[in-house]
Structure 1
Amino acid sequence: MDLMGKATELVGAAMVALRRKDVPGGQAIGATPAIPKAKEQGIMTLKMPTATGWSNGRKPAAAPGLQVNAFAADLHHPRWIEVLPNGDVLVAESMQADRKPRSLMDHAMIATMRRARAVGESANRVSLWRDLDGDGVAEHREVFVEKQNQPFGMALVGDRFYLGNTDGIYAFDYDRATGRLSGNGKRLVEFKPGGHWTRSLIASSDGKRLYAGVGSLSNIGDEGLEVEIGRAAIWEFEIETGKARIFAGGLRNPVGLAWEPQTDALWTVVNERDGLGDETPPDYLTSVKDGGFYGWPYCYWGQTVDDRVPQDAGLVASALQPDYALGGHTASLGLCWMPEGTLPGFPDGMVIGQHGSWNRAILSGYKMIFVPFKDGKPSGPPRDILSGFLSADEKQSYGRPVGVAVGPDGKSLLMADDVGDVIWRVSAA
């Protein structure tokens, strides 16, 4: 580590130590969370465990009544999962590109991310995995598509496969007989790359539309709002007409997307802004209304104003309050609907992969959790499905949860672990 890196690391450690005494007693979770008053940090808290991966037979801890095994291993930073109708499991292998720092604080942040294996050379491919004998372990592996630009979200509609690269939505011809793609793909919608780079995708239940999550470039419009146009939003694309529009905005970094089947409402998990405290504001799970505005960058959790940002009173007044808080800086990324009966003892609800914090005095997230639903809304506290991704002293991360999906058998969950380079499978014990 160079002298600048060492200096910034020491400053970061000192700030973490100072702020531990101000850490709230509990997390801001649920429909009516207790959100602490904002405290502008000035120098951002930086705390992230060193990524070590899994060794010596170690694996995540499953909730009582469940077991976990490696469905697929030896991947390169697996981020997202799509299960095809024929049972093939697609995995997007990609990561944030490394870059030169722009400031002292930026230098510290990038150094922290490198240590946590959060930036580097992206594999830029989607791999295909197949469990040939139904034992919960994939024996067959092949490259599904490669030479992409930070691929992430995936959707198959009819004989067309859609891929969310960081610079747009691409379409490929899909041969159902062979299970393979043909051609180089065509870009249908262009997105601005950089910043929050992931582009999740989900198709409507009738197969007529695609929805894509596009995160902001910066934390709170730090480089001006003009460069944020078209970002911090969920986009809708009409497959037949080719028309694209912003479906909902003010969502700092909407990643996972899922349908709640009773109401057919679109839900998302959103990573909120940094620099106001360990629990302020919380990341959240919310239904998404057509034309809705959710506050970023002007305000959060309804009309709570962020006075670091030049204000727009009209947009603040229109801001919708999210449905369910997930705790501060949990980096909730993965999202899928899990019907009752998938895992024993779990009702209908949403499964969330929490990638874990990098900017609070006491780490949060680093779990796969479940939020129960009733009558189309969250109906109780979250439950852990997988934990044990951190060492006891929080200095090491064996893995980090990302994308989640119901397994091909309908009786299991799959979860991408981008530090462990594993796809974990959770099933009944």
Structure 2
Amino acid sequence: MSILFSLQPKQWLGRIVSARLVSLLALLTTVMHFEVLSTPTLAIPAAASVDTKIKVPNTMSYSPFNISRYLKVPPNFSISVYARIAGARFMAVAPNGNLLVSQPNSGKVLIVRANGNKDPIISNFVTGLRRPHDIVFHTINNTTYLYISETNQINRFIYKYGDITAQNRQIVVARLPDSSTSELKGAYGHELKNIALDTNHKLYVSIASTCNACLADTVSNPRRAAIYQYNADGSNPRLFAQGLRNAEGLALVPGTNDLWVAVNNRDNIRYPFKDATNNYGKIIPSYVDNHPPEEFTRIRDGGNYGWPFCNPNPDTSNGFNFMPFDRDYQFNANGRVNCNAMDKIVKGIQAHSAPLGLTFLQKTNFPSLYSNGVVIGLHGSWNRQQITGYKLAYFPWDSTKKLPGNQIDLVSGWVVAGTQQIWGRPVDTVVDQQGNLLISDDYSGTIYKLSYTPPR
């Protein structure tokens, strides 16, 4: 009612004074209805709330499925084991519906083909790669390419509908830094590469940091803890954005060229405040537990997102939204780098959750209630007293503001509540042609299938 009073106070005050009680009640109903319609809210689907037994084929019921396992999923969903693949990481669905899965530690990308009611057929799609990671299909002038990242280069293959092995390999980006780079002497903490391609046929490559936090990556050539942009054929390389410690998930909002990433932030941060605690410069476990948050953010051309000089602070009224930065004690205690000039992080995620795969669900066959949203696989923490992550996070998407809403759990339960025993670690997600969400887990070596059944 306050909206209408503010618009026409005299008119509505007169009506209320002179109206009969019935008219007043009708008026209030109309006004309340108008207010609801005039201030639409972001639809929030149901969060994971139902403990659901995982359906496991007998042929796949070895550890950890040698006992009954449960995951918490939203109402009207079921979850099953679709395939067992050791070290399964990133995935892509081929135009004909086949599933490709990277297996970095074996140097392979596998192809998984549906086989009716029987177990899927799993075979080698390409072998002999250097820790392959991300997989992206992209079409240019009626030619479909399959891009696969290695630690030291980006390949593309010409894909023909129904191919079960890789064909016509081209190396489009070579000499990327990895553990074989001479100056690094075998030490590269985050050498796996992630990629994305936009509708202008620009290729984005994440070159993550070699370290937890260091200065060397900020002055290297190419810059590390950064994203580079290339033409789709690998030509015209240039620095696109920096200050991103380890951008694992790279994805574009469907129908746009807006690039978003999920970033693993630093560990063992030192307390940055000179205050009464006398903790300045110390590693305080209770502070490390929640700082700095992981990052889910939009990337602009020329952006700098702070690492290792500036860390997003979740302890203000903003919470996890557009957080201000604190100066890093180790590398920016004197403020020589202006943290106010850094690009703020759009959305924070609980520190040490280790976000990996990032999937926009728009324009997929996933259930419509959830399809205007984003899923991020949270691989799980090590640098935290109480473990966190080990679940799929879902963010509803505000199409008007072009921003994510508040995080809810889509799938959780890979940690046994009582014992804190870890039995699975989700990595990536894709939606298949039937609208199921496929989930990779490199810890148990599993591809799960999350399926929806509409209520009757």
Pair 1:278 & 2:289 matched: yes
User: What secondary structure does 2:174 align onto?
Assistant: strand
| Separation of aligned partners in 2, 1:369 and 1:138 | 28
Alignment of 1:13-412 (within 5 A): 53-73=64-84, 75-94=85-104, 122-133=105-116, 139-157=120-138, 158-176=143-161, 178-183=163-168, 185-186=170-171, 188-193=173-178, 194-206=188-200, 208-221=201-214, 225-226=218-219, 229-240=222-233, 242-261=235-254, 263-276=256-269, 277-301=288-312, 302-310=324-332, 313-314=336-337, 316-339=339-362, 342-343=366-367, 345-374=369-398, 375-409=400-434, 411-412=435-436
User: What secondary structure does 2:339 align onto?
Assistant: helix
CA 224–287 in structure 1, closer or farther in 2 if over 3 Å, else same: closer
* Structure 1 residue identity aligned to 2:326: T
Further displaced range: 229-238 or 417-426: 229-238
CA 318–392 in structure 1, closer or farther in 2 if over 3 Å, else same: same
CA 224–198 in structure 1, closer or farther in 2 if over 3 Å, else same: closer
8 Å CA contact 1:352, 1:368 repeated in 2 = yes
8 Å CA contact 1:339, 1:348 repeated in 2 = yes
CA 312–386 in structure 1, closer or farther in 2 if over 3 Å, else same: same
8 Å CA contact 2:415, 2:421 repeated in 1 = yes
Q: CA deviation at 1:237?
A: 1.6
Q: CA deviation at 1:352?
A: 0.6
Aligned residue in 2 for 1:5: none
* Structure 2 residue identity aligned to 1:248: A
Unaligned runs of 5+ in 2: 1-62, 179-187, 270-287, 313-323
Q: CA deviation at 1:297?
A: 0.6
User: What secondary structure does 1:242 align onto?
Assistant: coil
Q: CA deviation at 1:293?
A: 0.4
Q: CA deviation at 1:185?
A: 4.5
User: What secondary structure does 1:308 align onto?
Assistant: helix
8 Å CA contact 1:130, 1:138 repeated in 2 = no
| Separation of aligned partners in 1, 2:349 and 2:127 | 34
The superposition leaves residues 315-371 of structure 1 with CA deviations (integer Å, 9 ceiling, x where unpaired) of 634211111111111001110001286236325111010000001001111001110
- Structure-2-length-normalised TM-score: 0.71
| Separation of aligned partners in 2, 1:357 and 1:126 | 26
Unaligned runs of 5+ in 1: 1-51, 95-121
CA 354–269 in structure 1, closer or farther in 2 if over 3 Å, else same: same
8 Å CA contact 1:349, 1:378 repeated in 2 = no
8 Å CA contact 2:252, 2:260 repeated in 1 = yes
8 Å CA contact 2:96, 2:162 repeated in 1 = no
| Separation of aligned partners in 1, 2:87 and 2:251 | 23
| Separation of aligned partners in 2, 1:64 and 1:349 | 17
CA 144–379 in structure 1, closer or farther in 2 if over 3 Å, else same: closer
CA 425–228 in structure 1, closer or farther in 2 if over 3 Å, else same: farther
Q: CA deviation at 1:217?
A: 0.5
8 Å CA contact 2:208, 2:224 repeated in 1 = yes
User: What secondary structure does 1:201 align onto?
Assistant: strand
Q: CA deviation at 1:79?
A: 0.7
8 Å CA contact 2:213, 2:266 repeated in 1 = yes
- Structure-1-length-normalised TM-score: 0.75
Aligned residue in 1 for 2:23: none
| Separation of aligned partners in 2, 1:222 and 1:247 | 19
| Separation of aligned partners in 1, 2:263 and 2:442 | 19
* Structure 2 residue identity aligned to 1:388: G
8 Å CA contact 2:153, 2:171 repeated in 1 = no
8 Å CA contact 2:158, 2:169 repeated in 1 = no
The superposition leaves residues 10-58 of structure 1 with CA deviations (integer Å, 9 ceiling, x where unpaired) of xxxxxxxxxxxxxxxxxxxxxxxxxxxxxxxxxxxxxxxxxx7333232
* Structure 2 residue identity aligned to 1:297: P
| Separation of aligned partners in 1, 2:386 and 2:95 | 41
| Separation of aligned partners in 1, 2:228 and 2:97 | 28
| Separation of aligned partners in 1, 2:221 and 2:355 | 22
| Separation of aligned partners in 2, 1:283 and 1:259 | 19
Q: Find the structure with the greater CA-based Rg.
A: 2
| Separation of aligned partners in 1, 2:148 and 2:444 | 24
CA 144–322 in structure 1, closer or farther in 2 if over 3 Å, else same: same
Q: CA deviation at 1:197?
A: 2.1
User: What secondary structure does 2:290 align onto?
Assistant: coil
8 Å CA contact 1:189, 1:244 repeated in 2 = no
CA 309–148 in structure 1, closer or farther in 2 if over 3 Å, else same: same
The superposition leaves residues 143-167 of structure 1 with CA deviations (integer Å, 9 ceiling, x where unpaired) of 0011111111112233432211111
| Separation of aligned partners in 1, 2:198 and 2:446 | 29
8 Å CA contact 2:243, 2:305 repeated in 1 = yes
| Separation of aligned partners in 1, 2:407 and 2:150 | 31
| Separation of aligned partners in 1, 2:373 and 2:255 | 11
CA 228–221 in structure 1, closer or farther in 2 if over 3 Å, else same: farther
| Separation of aligned partners in 1, 2:421 and 2:213 | 30
| Separation of aligned partners in 2, 1:325 and 1:229 | 27
* Structure 2 residue identity aligned to 1:215: A
Aligned residue in 1 for 2:6: none
| Separation of aligned partners in 1, 2:411 and 2:234 | 42
